[in-house]
Structure 1
C-alpha cells in the first residue's frame, strides 16, 4: 500500500512538471514575439527619423534661398528709391524684375510644399506595403523608393511559370494586397513593367522576350482591374524585355534576378508636369 502511494506521488509530480514546462514554453515564445515586434518598430522609427532629418535639411536649404531672394528684393527697392533720375521705361523694367522674383519665390515655396507632401506619401506607401507583405520572402519581393517614386519588384518565380504569362494562385494573393494599398491612394498612377533575362524565347504564343515581358505586364494590369477593382485609367502596362537588367546574365542566379515584374507607383503625369512648369510674370494666383 505504501508503495502505491509513493508511486502516485511520483506520477503527480511528473505531470505537474510537464504543465510547468508547457507554460514556460508559451511564455518564452511570447517573449520572443514581443522582442521581434520591438525590433521591427525600432527599424521603422530609424527610417522615419532619417527621412525627417532629410526633409529638415531640404527645408533649411530652401529657406536660405528664400532669404536670398528677399534680400535681393530689398536691395533693389532701396536702389530704386535712391535713383532720382530714372526713365519711365527703366523704372518699369525694375518693377517687372521685382514681380518676377516674387513669382519665383512663390514657385519655390509651392514646389517645396508639394515635394514634401510627395515624400510623405511615398513613406506611408512603403510602410503600408511592407506591413501588408511581411509574410513574403525578401528574395521574392523588394520595395524601395527610387527617383522619387515607389518601386515594388516581384520575382517571376512568384508570379509566373517559366516562359509563361499565366499568373499563379499565390501571385493573386500578393497582387491583391498591393491593389488594396493603391486603391487607398487614388491620386497616384500605376506603371507595370515586365522584365526578362537574355535567354531568347520563341513559340506559338510569343515571338520574343519583348512579347513575353509585355504579356506579363498586361496580365498583372488585367488582374488588378478585373479582380481587385483598380481603375484602368490609372494603369499603364509596358515591357522592357531584357534591356534593363538589374545585374549581368552570366549565371543562373543573376538571370533569375533579372526576370521580374516591377509595379511603379507614381504621381499622375499631368499634375506632375504642371508642378514643374514655372510661373510667368503675368500669371494670377
Structure 2
C-alpha cells in the first residue's frame, strides 16, 4: 500500500514539474515572438526606404543611358559621313567626354540627395509612435519626401482650425524640418468632392473646397512657424481643393483618404539651378 502511495506521489510531482516547465517555455516563446515582431517592423521600414532609393537611382541611370546613346549615335553618324561633316571627330569626342562627366556628376549629386532623403524619412518614421503612423503616411517619390496627414487627425470637425491632438505630431515633423535646413517645405491641402456646407458656423466665408483646402494648408504653415519655430522663408502654403484625389470618392473611406494635408519636403530650387549652370557648354 505504501509503495502505491509513493508511486502516485511521484507521478503527481512529475506532472507539476512538467506544467511549470511548459509555462516557462510559453513565456519564453511569447517574449521571442514580441522581439521578432519588432525586428520585422524595423526591417519593413528599412526595406521601404531602400526600395524608394533604388527606384530613384534606376530612373537616373535610365536617363543617363538615353543621353549616352544619343551622343553615341551622333558619333557613329559623324564617323559614317566624315568627309561631308563639318564637325571634327575630336571635337565630338570631347563633347561626349564632357557630357559623360556631367552625367556622372548628376548621378553623384542625386545619390547624395537620395541618401539624405532616406535618412530624413527614417528619422521621421522612427520619431512617430505606432498610433501616429496609422494617420501619417511617409513616402519618397523621385527624390521628394511626402508626409500625408489625415484631416480628422489635424483639424477640428468641419473646420480649418488645428486641434490639440495634432500638436505632438506636428512638433515631431517640425523638428525634422528644422534639422534639414537645405530643404524647402510645401504644405498642400486636399479635400473630397463634397461641397462645403457654408451654413455651418465654422464654415462662414468659405465659398468652396478651394477656400477650405487653402485655409487648412495656411493653418499648418502658421502652426509650424508660430508654435514650432520653422523659418517662414522655407514654407509655402497651397490648396488643390478636390482636384488631386488619390482614389475615387465613391465611399466614405475613399473620401476620408482624399481629405488630407501633405507636407512636401524638397531640396531648394537654387541647388538645381547651380547644377544647370555647371552643365557643359555646347561648342
TM value normalised by structure 1:
0.74
Please point out which of 194, 197, 200 is paired with 2:189. 194
Quote how far apart the aligned CAs of 1:46 are.
Answer: 3.6
Q: 1:168 aligns to what?
A: 163
Find the aligned partners of 2:57 and 2:211 in 1 and give their Cα distance. Answer: 46
Q: 2:241 aligns to what?
A: 241
Cα deviations by residue, 1:142-194 (Å, 9 ceiling, x for unpaired) = 11122331111111000012321111111111111111111111111111000
- Structure 2: where are the runs of 5+ without partners? 1-20
**C-alpha contact 2:52 2:140 (8 A) present in aligned 1:** no
Inter-CA distance 148–55: structure 2 relative to 1 (3 Å threshold): closer
Pair 1:42-2:43 in alignment: yes
RMSD: 3.8
Q: 1:260 aligns to what?
A: 260
Find the aligned partners of 2:238 and 2:57 in 1 and give their Cα distance. Answer: 37
Pair 1:133-2:128 in alignment: yes
**For 2:146, what is the secondary structure of its paired residue?**
strand
**For 2:153, what is the secondary structure of its paired residue?**
helix
Find the aligned partners of 1:258 and 1:71 in 2 and give their Cα distance. Answer: 46
**C-alpha contact 1:99 1:281 (8 A) present in aligned 2:** no
Quote how far apart the aligned CAs of 1:27 are.
Answer: 6.2
Inter-CA distance 96–226: structure 2 relative to 1 (3 Å threshold): same
Q: 1:185 aligns to what?
A: 180
Find the aligned partners of 1:159 and 1:113 in 2 and give their Cα distance. Answer: 38
Q: 2:143 aligns to what?
A: 148
Q: 1:17 aligns to what?
A: none
Higher mean displacement: 108-117 or 28-37: 28-37
- Structure 1: where are the runs of 5+ without partners? 1-19
**For 2:107, what is the secondary structure of its paired residue?**
helix
Pair 1:107-2:102 in alignment: yes
Inter-CA distance 234–56: structure 2 relative to 1 (3 Å threshold): closer
Q: 2:204 aligns to what?
A: 204
**C-alpha contact 2:68 2:100 (8 A) present in aligned 1:** no
Quote how far apart the aligned CAs of 1:244 are.
Answer: 0.6
Quote how far apart the aligned CAs of 1:275 are.
Answer: 2.8
Find the aligned partners of 2:115 and 2:193 in 1 and give their Cα distance. Answer: 37
Q: State the aligned residue count.
A: 256
**For 1:136, what is the secondary structure of its paired residue?**
helix
